[in-house]
Amino acid sequence: MSLHSLRCKEFGVAMTENRMSVTRELTGEGLEIRGRLPPGLCGTLYRNGPNPRVPDGDAHWFLGEGMVHAVTLGPGGASYRNRWVVPAGQVRLLGKANTNIIRHGGRMMALEEAHAPVMFDPSSPGATGPMPTAWHVGMAPFTAHPKHDPRTGELVFFGYAADGPWSNVIRCGTLAPSGRLTWETRIRAPFCSMIHDMAVTPDHVLLPVLALVGRADRTDRSGFGFAWQPELGGRLALLRRGGDGREVRWFDAPPGYAFHIVNAWEEGGRLFLDLLVYDEPPLFPRGDGGHGSCGSVRPQRWSVPLDGRGEARVAGLPDVTGEFPRIDERFAGSRHTRFYLASRAPGRAGGFHAITRMDAESGQGDQFDFGTDASVSEPVFVPRAPDAARDEGWLLAVAWRPDWRTSRLAVFDAGHIADGPVASVILPQRVPDGFHGNFIPDAHPGRGIA
């Protein structure tokens, strides 16, 4: 069974139609804006995702070369720029850098979990190279989902398969706001798990070592060798920030697999994390080589006792079928109420066609549906002002519909999503389905970063 057949069978044409690569690197100024951009919304939304230079129908979606799409908003209007992150000749050295793009220590970093971060200069046609050695992150793996601690400005990270492909060693550490490495330790896990995301609180790190297991003896021709083996049992690794990896506390994980963690916090002696849980991970085969299921996904709240005495617990959250969750990240690591995600109608296969805000306590949702043929990105929350109240801000998402023949950047008032976008920027080309991105205030591609 090829991954291509799995993808097409399980996810249907609607999900793959906006997966096709674009072939041009464009710069577009003075873009058409429908509605009115909020006057204070100044900066650049960077989005990263796979965009293979040479499309290969049998290659896994996760393995395409990263392309960054940047939409800059400001008093002068809106502009767009897209570039492959890594020059073609450097992919073997730097990796594909296709999953996320963040700023830390004054540098833009394109991330993909099997490689070191790649510095990305938005004014250049491609990457400038790997992270400088002064940052001491070397070529070891570095998650695409490091977490900024809003209290300290630190960046907490991990990397699985840290002792080489398929190894069971996980590295975990912290970069100071300057980018300097201030903590690193190693954890020995029961197996090599694809750990896509992490939970971080002011004092602890939790890594979901779930049973999507990598083994060298089942790699496909593109080098992917992960399969779902729930019989091995998932584990949760709890570690004090700054601690020694040998002190890790292990818990049996609740059933299922999660790519993404919404947020985590500590309360009453427990660490809580909200996450989006699949019965089994989509896009991957089972351990016996059989087809995985498309898998339903639902939000859950997991928790573990901080003293290690007791078990992991599961609580349900209001139901929504979606992915790519975000919060108001000024408050990451403390208990949130609202989260935002790309969503789809229950029971429907395919991509995501709506933007939803969920209230985890009341179960109240607020949603805007772009239409069932649409494909919508992760919604990125941008506070209305640096000191705005929690959840007072804008949601930025890139949406595509076949009848538009291009993509649009949709700007929502995060408090009134169902009212539809307050502004839509018509982009000069289609933006293929991607993974993650961030809004960097006052960043202007082509003029360096302010």
Q: Is 416 annotated as a binding residue?
A: no
Q: For 18-103, where are the alpha helices, taking DSSP H only?
A: 91-94
260 is in an annotated binding site: yes
196 in a labelled binding site: yes
d(CA 68, CA 445): 11
> Of 282, 278, 287, 161, whose CA–CA distance to 231 is shortest?
287
Q: How far apart are the first and last CA of the chain?
A: 49
Q: 262-283 as b/e, with b when 16 or more CB fall inside 10 Å? A: bbbbbeeebbbbbbbbbbbbbb
DSSP letter, residue 231 = G
103, β-bridge pairs: 108
- What span, in angstroms and rounded, lies between the C-alpha atoms of 220 and 275? 29
Backbone torsion region of residue 203, taken as left when φ is above 0, otherwise alpha when ψ lies between -120 and 50, otherwise beta: alpha
> Annotated binding residue at 436?
yes
Residues 284 and 294: beta-carbon distance below 8 Å: no
- Cα–Cα distance for residue pair 449/110, rounded to 1 Å: 15
391 residue type, one letter: D
DSSP conformational letter for 118: E
Binding residues for Fe cation: 145, 196, 260, 436
Binding residues: 145, 196, 260, 436
